[in-house]
Amino acid sequence: MDVKKVFKNNEAWIKEKLSKNPGYFEELGKGQNPELLFIGCSDSRVTAEELMGLGPGEVFVHRNIANMVISIDLNVMSVVNYAVNHLKVKDVVVCGHYECGGVKAAMQSEDLGILNPWLRNIRDVYRIHRKTLNAIPDESERYNRLVELNVQEQCVNLIKTAAVQKANRDRGLVVHGWVFDVHSGKLIDLNIDFDGYLKDIMEIYHLE
């Protein structure tokens, strides 16, 4: 791919937008009012807005390796706080995907340098759900299940935060767990039991 092509693509995109709505960029310049926070993987196949059919201004996006929500990661925590407390998003989504290289790497014992502490958080998910995962004989099915369980645990990590607990109490904010199937393009709702996790988590992680 020629990087210069990006600028040509950009020109074509501007033309297309303006042909449909001459005031498109004037409206974009006024500010943003997204109702959804999307936390996804950095993987180039997980195209956030595109896979949901949403355009600029409609979704606040954060992406990192394996869509992790780590309490001491200032980056993801700043995004969550800004989106929930200031943009007042109504829903927060953690979206994982099958064939996730981050999840696969976490299952191998290779020393990956600076990635080790990041991937350790995925290994912790494996440890928590070891019995379920070890009972799955097929390796690729086991990876898929780990992708789903990782999404579930990152949702739990979100529910542990004061921002999410307060926004749920004050205005009914909800956390969702989804998986993007790269083989079919399908977005799958894991239907995580948000209320159940919230109730369970509050026993230990309740914040005033």
Q: Which residues of this protein are in contact with Zn ion, per CB under 5 A? A: 41, 43, 100, 102
Question: Which tokens in the block code for residue 62?
Answer: 């954060």
95, 100, 155, 176: which one is catalytic? 100
**Is residue 43 among the annotated active site residues?**
yes
Annotated binding-site residue? 43? yes
Annotated binding-site residue? 176? no
Annotated binding-site residue? 129? no
Annotated binding-site residue? 124? no
To Zn ion, the closest distance from the beta carbon of 54 in angstroms equals: 20
Q: Residue 17, Cβ neighbours under 10 Å: how many?
A: 15
Contact 165, 207 (CB under 8 A): yes
Comparing CA positions, the residue from 124, 110, 111 lying closest to residue 66 is: 124
**Is residue 206 among the annotated active site residues?**
no
**Rounded Cα gap, residues 147 and 141, in angstroms:** 10
Considering the complex, state which of residue 43 and residue 153 has its C-beta at the smaller distance from Zn ion: 43
Neighbouring residues of 159: CB distance < 8 A, sequence distance ≥ 6: 165, 175, 194, 197, 198, 201, 205
Amino acid at the residue 82? Y
Considering the complex, state which of residue 64 and residue 161 has its C-beta at the smaller distance from Zn ion: 64
**Is residue 100 among the annotated active site residues?**
yes
Q: Would you list which residues are annotated within the binding site?
A: 41, 43, 97, 100
Q: Would you list which residues are annotated within the binding site for Zn(2+)?
A: 41, 43, 97, 100
- Which residues are known to be catalytic? 41, 43, 45, 97, 100
